[in-house]
Amino acid sequence: MHADLSHRIETGMQTYPGDPDVEVRDHSTHAADGCRVASVELGSHSGTHVDAPAHTEPGGRTLDAYPIERFCGEAVRVDCRDLGDRDPIPAERVPDADADWVVFWTGWDDHWGTRRYLDHPYLTPAAARRCAERGFDVATDTLNPDPTPTDAAAPDEPDGFVAHHRLLGEDRLVVENLANLGAVDDRFELRGYPLALGGDGSPIRAVGVV
């Protein structure tokens, strides 16, 4: 069974605050030009996407530095749906499992396109460090493994991109904005191949194979 774990790329879709807006528009049409061509404008971290270390780490590797098989691997899903707005995911939730990816399932994709989507659960620095120590690439159905800044932020939350640095700084990959994680099992194969951009990040078509 194959499950689509991606958000659709469309005009006005939600992005990280301050990132480029997404616009998909007709460039050519059947009626006027005899064929249909779309113009797509978006940032490298739009929608369901993968972060390379170069995203936050000066001198970090870009996506084209990885073999294509790095973007496909065995995943273990961690159920974090009991967590609420801006709750931390502690290190104790990181499994000790034989897998390539750890996927944190918060159910926050239910809030996609709303203000509440920004107030998602996040990885504590200790949880991110444990993921790196256990050799996991990390995926989540939230906008960010770190807290996303909003007016609801608590004063004791980690500031900046601590989880990103802990993961990307150890040459781990990070996938954000997954969807539909209820369609896969606790163990599945995650496939998420980036566009051939070779840069700091790329939208992916994330697929779960059970």
Q: Tens digits of per-residue pLDDT, 12-50?
A: 999 999 999 999 999 999 999 999 999 999 999 999 999
> Residue 99: which domain range?
2-209
Query: In sequence order, which ranges of the chain are alpha helices (DSSP H)?
Result: 30-33, 125-133, 162-168
Q: Tens digits of per-residue pLDDT, 116-141?
A: 999 999 999 999 999 999 999 999 99
Q: Where residue 82 falls among pLDDT bands split at 50, 70, 90?
A: very high
Q: Is the pLDDT of residue 87 over 90?
A: yes
Three-state secondary structure call for residue 33 = helix
Q: What CATH number does the domain containing 129 carry?
A: 3.50.30.50
d(CA 26, CA 86): 38
How many domains is the chain partitioned into structurally? 1
d(CA 54, CA 38): 29
What residues contact residue 115 under an 8 Å CB cut-off, 6+ apart?
A: 150
Contact criterion met (CB below 8 Å) for 167 and 50: no
Q: Tens digits of per-residue pLDDT, 92-107?
A: 999 999 999 999 999 9
Q: Measuring CA to CA, how many Å separate 157 from each of 122, 147, 149, 161?
A: 10, 7, 10, 11
